[in-house]
Amino acid sequence: MKIGLVGFAGSGKTTVFNTMTGLDVPVGYGGEVRLGTVRVPDERIDRLSAMFDPKKTTYAEMTFCDVPGEHGAERAGLSTRALVTIREQEALALVLRDFDNPAVEGDADPLRDLNAFSDECILADLAIIEGLLARARKENLPPVERGRLERMQSVLEDGRPLRTLAADELDRSQLKGYQLLTDRPLLVVVNRDEDRAAEPLPDDLDARLRELGAAGLALSASVEAEIASLDAEDQAAFLEDLGVAEPALARFIRAAYGLLDLISFFTVGEDEVRAWTIARGTTARVAAGKIHSDLERGFIRAEVMPYDVFIEHGSEHAVKEAGLLRVEGKDYIVADGDILHVRFNV
Ligand SMILES: Nc1nc2c(ncn2[C@@H]2O[C@H](COP(=O)(O)OP(=O)(O)O)[C@@H](O)[C@H]2O)c(=O)[nH]1
Ligand SMILES: [Mg+2]
């Protein structure tokens, strides 16, 4: 999954990027677009890997893209270059400054910056939808299609992002080739001084996030970037001082999976133990297609062991003996932690 770190200059995007990726990119500059891929930590994979001792262990991955904020809170409009990069992301993580930065004018005001960013994205989307609508009218497209575009237009004119629309109101096939901004899932990262890292988000910000259909979390990027470079033992002590239970990456990933409604299933064997990421509600057949298109095309059945059942019994053989190895068809909805063996024939 590709997540773009976006926001105004000096909000701490590059510092958050360093925190998440463990890299050490210089902060305090405009900088280049940078990519960093991290493993999605998963204790279940650690454990399965220890049990199977496979040649290869593959975790799910998340790619962070540090998008330079070529715009200030006062200067109107995101730069074209920033917009192009932002549009390529599957989800956006908006970094909001909640600490004093002498290099940036104005007090820290995360709610102001959230609204400024949101409004810019809404305006950019409105321009696209209005263009599509003008063409739809000129070319006399079916009323259903025009109706949907009109609905999108009115939502945006109301100052609301497209992600607040119901799924059937947002026809993505109609929007193919037009990369919008406000339909992207949005995770808001409130970046704070270390003494306030563990404080909950203020009520007004929280309420606004709900209106925008976004999720939020607070962290102190500059401290957590330092902690991320320590070994595990020291990390725990520093995190305790900070008043947080888990490193920022773990909290970020959980928030992102929750926001995007993602789950993991596993494949196991002597060759490879591997985590696969899918949307909740995915059927066995479509999940099999993640592994290889042949498995989707030639799908016969899936043999399923929930992770907990497997751990409890200690081996595949014991699970089978206990009569707990399930055989599921193509429409089975895969659950988080399912261990799958796909039987197929092409
Ligand atoms: N006090 C404090 N300073 C931070 C924090 N995060 C970033 N900074 C500082 O803010 C400045 C801008 O950070 P940077 O990551 O380059 O912001 P970017 O422009 O959004 O990429 C740098 O001097 C950072 O050291 C934080 O959590 N607390
Ligand atoms: Mg930067």
Pseudo-torsion of CA 181, 187, 191, 196, nearest 10°?
150
Pick 227 or 167 by higher pLDDT.
227
Q: What's the CA-to-centroid distance between 293 and ligand 1, angstroms?
A: 44
Q: Is the pLDDT of residue 72 over 60?
A: no
Ligand 2 centroid to Cα of residue 97, in Å, is 12
Greatest alpha-carbon span in the chain: 68
Residue of minimum CA distance from atom 7 in ligand 1: 12
Is any ligand 1 atom within 6 A of the Cβ of residue 193?
yes
pTM above 0.85, yes or no: yes
How many angstroms is it from 25 CA to the middle of ligand 1?
12
* pLDDT over 60 (residue 75): no
Contact 72 CB / ligand 1 (< 6 Å)? no
Please spell the DSSP secondary structure of 249-281, one letter per residue.
HHHHHHHHHHHHTEEEEEE-SSSEEEEEEEETT
Of residues 301 and 166, the one with the higher pLDDT is 301
pLDDT digits 0-9 by tens, 184-229:
999 999 999 988 988 999 999 999 999 999 999 999 999 998 888 8
Task: Give the tokens for residue 249.
Answer: 């990456």
We find that the CATH architecture of domain 281-344 is: Roll (3.10)
Sequence spans of domains, the chain: 2-258, 281-344
- What's the gap in Å between 141 CA and the centre of ligand 1? 49
The finding on whether 282 has its CB within 6 A of some atom of ligand 1 is no
Homologous superfamily of domain range 2-258:
P-loop containing nucleotide triphosphate hydrolases (3.40.50.300)
Closest to 219 measured CA to CA, from 241, 202, 244: 244
